[in-house]
Structure formats: C-alpha cells, structure tokens
Amino acid sequence: MQIYNYKEDILHIEEVALTKIALQYGTPVYCYSKKAFKDSYKTIENSLKKHIPEADILIAYAVKASSNIAIIKLLSDMGAGADIVSEGELFRTEKAGIQSKNIVFSGVGKTDIEIKKAIEKEICQINIESKEELANIAKIAQNLGKEAKIALRVNPDIDANTHDKIATGRKGDKFGIDIDEAIAIYKQANSMSGIKIVGVAIHIGSQIAKIEPFRRAFIKIADLVHRLKEEGIKLKNIDIGGGFGITYSSEKAIDFDELAIVIKELIAPLSCKIILEPGRFIAGNSGIVLTKLLYAKHTKHKNFLIIDAAMNDLARPSIYGAYHPILPVKKASDLQLKTYEIVGPVCETGDIFARNEQMPAPKHGDLFAIMVSGAYGASMASNYNSRPFLPEVMVDGKEHFLIRKRQSFFDMLAQEEF
Ligand code: LLP
C-alpha cells in the first residue's frame, strides 16, 4: 500500500482522506502515517539483518527528528533505542519505555545535571565531545562513586556535501574531538577514575545523499579502532551516527542495502556492537503538514498563496531554504497553471514555503499538504507570533487519532506571570 495516494481525486494518508482530518482536527495540523514509520524503521533493520546477520545492532532513533512520545513508543515497541541530546529527551524516551541500556547521549553541551542522570541511569554510552567534557564527566562520576560509560565522538574531518548548517564532521565545526587528537584523549580517559571507555562515535551531518562520505568516515574510524587496540584500548561499541538522506525533490534517498554492505566491509570486521542514530530517515516521509488557503493575493509583481501554516510550524524552508513538495488535497480539474509564491501568515519576509509553485488557481479554504514534514517539523516548532503549537494526528489504516492536542491559548500563557 502506498502511504500517500489520491483516491477519487482526494489525497489520502493510508486509507484516510485528508479532507476528513481537516474537518475533525482543523488546520494547520501535522498528520503522520504509522505504516510509514514502521516501514522506514524496517528498511534499516532488514538491510542490516540481510547483510550482517551476525552483528549486534542498536538502532537508536534520533529523538530530535520527531519527538512525540507516541512516535518514540511506536519505535520502541519495534526494538529501537534512542539517541538523545537533552534531559528533556531523556524524560520522553524513558516515559515511552526505552530502556537505559539502549540510550546514547550526544551533544556538545551537556549540563552537570544531565551528565549525573545519564551516569545514574547507566545508559549505553555518553558520547563525549571535548576533553573539557571528559574531565567534567570524570569528576561527576567520582562524586557519585560510579563509572560513566563513555565513547569519544570524533570529528573525522569529512565534508558530507550537505547544507552548510547541517554538516557536522568538518574541521572547524563545533562537534566532536579532532580525530588526530583522539588517541591521546583515549589514553588520558583510560587512566581516569570514574571513566569506563566503551566506544567511539561519529556523526558527519544530516541529509547526506551519497554513501561515499560514510565510506570515508568508516575507513578513518576503523583505522582508529585498530590503533587503539594496539594501545591496549579495546572498544565495545561503534556508533556510526545518523544523517541518512531522504527524497524531498529529485535527490535519491540513501540505499540502505548499499550502506549495509559498506558497514559489513568496514565496520563489522571490528567485532563491536554497531549503533546507528537515524532520525530523518525514519520520520521524514512519515508526516505532512495539512494546511488551508487563507488568501490568493495577486499583485502586479507576484501571485501569493497565503496559507494558515507558517515558519513557526515548519521552520526548514525559512532556515535552510529547504524545499518541501506542496500537493493540493483535491486534484484540480482546471489545467491552467499559474505561478505562486506560497507563504505563511507570520510577520517575517522569510516566512516562505515555496517560491515558484506552478498550480491551477486555488480557492479560499482549499487544502494543501506540505509533504515530507515528519522530521524536524513539529520538533522545531515555536510559538512565534503567539501561534499555539499544532495538534499531531496519527493515521493507522482507516483509523486516526490525536497524539497531541492543539495547544490552547491558556496553555500558551501557562508559564507566564504578571
Ligand atoms: N545523531 C546526532 C548526534 C545528531 O546530531 C543528529 C542530527 C542525528 C543523529 C540525526 O540525524 P538525521 O539522521 O536526522 O539526519 N534541523 C535540521 C537537521 C539537524 C540535524 C541535527 N542532528 C533539518 O531540518 O534539516
């Protein structure tokens, strides 16, 4: 079954018409497909099982991509662990039922409280991003009388050829420890009380469309693991990060069979547990933003479609200039196309979803689906312009249900005082 398809000219998610979703929950609204989440998770799992059946694998879902607890629970029930970057994400993942032993903690700026919790809960590993953080973690662990299980996140100096704002593995990016300094810092860590070295981690960027940058990073990691072994430091886990690209317009999604073959060739022979941190690959194509047209505004210079979703609901186009396909929910019979700039109502010139969309003239109230919005959509939303957070709806076959209510105005003000 296709996840998104037109039936009698109406766009459906699985077996539910988006007109029905709009009627019941209002717009704008995030709408997800349970099947799409399951299928994308299975794509990763099946490729790895097929090519490296003997390997011990942890698929640690990068919770930041789409953080609703129902989504985390769904993936947890399928066997996923979690890659977290804050105490808030730790809270969510635990509430969703993910066991501590399947949680990895990434991020350049973990607070003392976050570190303390991670140590107390004995999570799988804390990915350390600097020697300063290492010293702090050792101190906190000593005070607790415990050992912190750590991995060094190394920066392999690889340009993943992705958007500048989501590349993370180049020299000069704030992430990770320079790979040339890694051995010295591992040796230092090895002699510190309170520290138990368990692994190595990388994450070279997001929305990476080619296998090649991964291959280059894996070669460097494999070399590091061998050299550490010679120094008497044996690792248990290799965390290859996330970043697996998907299709927004013409780019090809990462072929997981191809990636699994590269993992088999370069990482599996190191006989460690292999951890992956996919976010976008699992969530991206699993959700849309359903929005309606407020006004078609015609000026001498341009035609604008002003929709009820805005940059605070889906920030990617305004932050990264990212392209998301926008589909009409009702296929138009009029075949004459006009060119539109599709914009939100927020008071910012940059509140633009698409610049040159060709479509038949829509009418006030017509519905649109902003596609591939399941990752970094709801999780990056804000209340800017005092716009409440949108509801999130999950579709499962013919069923649909709220997994988050629309924020009320009272809730929006709940933490404020005067
Ligand atoms: N692991 C670490 C340490 C990360 O920093 C990230 C994402 C991931 C895993 C998951 O990466 P993914 O598989 O989703 O590519 N807001 C941006 C993306 C930022 C990614 C941040 N880190 C966007 O909307 O494109």
Query: Which amino acid is located at 311 in the chain?
Result: M
Say which range, 36-50, 161-175, 206-220, has the weakest mean pLDDT.
161-175
Domains 4-33+284-413 and 34-283 share a fold: no
Which residue, chain included where needed, has tokens 């633009």?
Answer: 352
Going by pLDDT thresholds of 50, 70 and 90, the confidence category of residue 163 is confident
Please tell me the distance from the alpha carbon of residue 380 to that of residue 371, in angstroms, as a whole number.
Answer: 16
> Which pLDDT tens digit goes with each residue over 93-136?
999 999 999 999 999 999 999 999 999 999 999 999 999 999 99
CATH no. of 4-33+284-413? 2.40.37.10
Going by pLDDT thresholds of 50, 70 and 90, the confidence category of residue 160 is confident
What's the 338 CA to ligand 1 centre distance in angstroms?
36
Which residue, chain included where needed, has tokens 């960027």?
Answer: 205
Going by pLDDT thresholds of 50, 70 and 90, the confidence category of residue 161 is confident
What's the pLDDT at 112?
98
Going by pLDDT thresholds of 50, 70 and 90, the confidence category of residue 76 is very high
Mean pLDDT score, 154-159:
91
- On average, the pLDDT of the chain sits at 96
For residue 356, count other CB atoms closer than 10 A to its CB: 8
Going by pLDDT thresholds of 50, 70 and 90, the confidence category of residue 162 is confident
What's the pLDDT at 335?
79
Site to substitute for ligand 1 among 280, 289, 380, most atoms within 8 A of C-beta? 280
> Which pLDDT tens digit goes with each residue over 204-239?
999 999 999 999 999 999 999 999 999 999 999 999
User: Which residues are annotated as catalytic?
Assistant: 347
Write the DSSP assignment of 180-225 as a string of letters. Answer: GGHHHHHHHHHTSTTEEEEEEE---BSSB--SHHHHHHHHHHHHHH
Q: Which residues contact 350 (CB under 8 A, 6 or more apart)?
A: 311, 318
What's the pLDDT at 32?
99
Annotated domain spans of the chain: 4-33+284-413, 34-283
Q: Are 264 and 299 in contact (CB under 8 A)?
A: no
What's the pLDDT at 147?
98
* Residue with CA at minimum distance from ligand 1 atom 23: 376
Q: Are 310 and 401 in contact (CB under 8 A)?
A: no
Q: Which atom of ligand 1 is nearest to the CA of 380?
A: 16
Angle (deg, nearest 10), helices 212-230 and 256-266: 20
Write the DSSP assignment of 95-114 as a string of letters. Answer: HTT--GGGEEE--S---HHH
Cis bond leading into 213, ω under 30°? no
Q: Which residues contact 337 (CB under 8 A, 6 or more apart)?
A: 358, 359, 360
Q: Does residue 314 register a pLDDT over 90?
A: yes
Mean pLDDT score, 240-252:
97
Site to substitute for ligand 1 among 83, 104, 162, 206, most atoms within 8 A of C-beta? 206
Structure tokens at 363: 């009418």
Nearest CA-CA partner of 7 in 331, 340, 255, 250: 331
What's the 135 CA to ligand 1 centre distance in angstroms?
26
Q: Which residues line ligand 1 (CB under 6 A)?
A: 62, 65, 83, 106, 166, 203, 206-207, 241-244, 277-281, 316, 320, 375-376
Going by pLDDT thresholds of 50, 70 and 90, the confidence category of residue 281 is very high
Share of the chain above pLDDT 70, in %: 100
CATH of range 34-283; options 3.30.450.90, 3.40.50.11890, 3.20.20.10, 3.20.20.190: 3.20.20.10
Query: Which amino acid is located at 191 in the chain?
Result: S
Going by pLDDT thresholds of 50, 70 and 90, the confidence category of residue 370 is very high
Q: Does residue 4 register a pLDDT over 90?
A: yes
Going by pLDDT thresholds of 50, 70 and 90, the confidence category of residue 319 is very high
Q: Does residue 332 register a pLDDT over 90?
A: no
For residue 239, count other CB atoms closer than 10 A to its CB: 28
What's the pLDDT at 59?
98
Query: Which amino acid is located at 56 in the chain?
Result: D
What's the pLDDT at 379?
98
Mean pLDDT score, 254-262:
98
Please tell me the distance from the alpha carbon of residue 338 to that of residue 318, in angstroms, as a whole number.
Answer: 23
Q: Are strands 81-84 and 103-105 parallel, antiparallel or unpaired?
A: parallel
